[in-house]
Amino acid sequence: MSSYETFEPTTYPWGPCVFMVSFLSIVISFCSPYWLANDGEMEEGHFLNTGLWEVCFLNYHDYTYRYDRIYDGCYWTLDEEMHVISDQLKRPFFVTVQVFYTFCFTLSLIGTALTGILVLCPGEDFERSVLKLAYIDLFISWVFGFIAVIVFGAMGDNRDWMPHWDHNHLSWSFGLAVVGVVAEFVAAVLYWVEYRIQKRKESYRQSHGVFTLEGTKS
């Protein structure tokens, strides 16, 4: 066995596995309405829970009493019905979280496609290019996701957003978002390490004149 073969991949299957944990966590948190939830101790006239795109109320009305509209049930945050309380719901920090986490989600989808290519279409030269794209994609996605969870974690349950702030708390969807973002960073590092391993293998082959099975110098 030639010594360049000692540079075998050391991160498989951990990279793809960690990334899939990250992707599932990000998807569920992106779609679920439990980033912030009420503790349930109030009988009525309050908000129940909210995610990035859905918010639920229980016989709730505009806390400034400018309108008589009662909200009871769950609503899409971008629905026209929400215009009455849009100044309360769509605070700048919340819109920032929506935008940055959407970027994170979109780049994670691209990362899923790249991971599928890595698993289903092996081949060292091709693999190095895909690994490079994958770890760059995941690092950028992690930056967007990190900003989103930090901003929401700092401001999501403060007294200046949802009513009865003392009865509200960060919920499981936000927890999944944190898990997803952390796992995405780990996956990005693993892909980067694997890329460096593949580069070392290629450098060794070139410096020692190792030939591939096709009879050409790699």
Q: How far apart are CA 39 and CA 164, in angstroms?
A: 10
The residues pairing with 9 across neighbouring beta strands, listed in sequence order, are none
Q: How far apart are CA 178 and CA 185, in angstroms?
A: 11
User: pLDDT tens for residues 29-42?
Assistant: 999 999 999 887 77
- In this structure, the strands spanning 46-50 and 36-38 are antiparallel
User: What type of residue is 117?
Assistant: I
Kindly indicate the confidence band of residue 60, based on its pLDDT and cuts at 50, 70 and 90.
confident
Of 54, 135, 53, 56, which Cα lies nearest the Cα of 102? 53
Q: How far apart are CA 173 and CA 151, in angstroms?
A: 15
Q: Which domains does the chain have, with CATH numbers?
A: 11-201 (1.20.140.150)
Quote the pTM value. 0.84
Q: What is the pLDDT of residue 218?
A: 42
Q: What is the pLDDT of residue 66?
A: 64
Q: Above 70 in pLDDT, residue 179?
A: yes
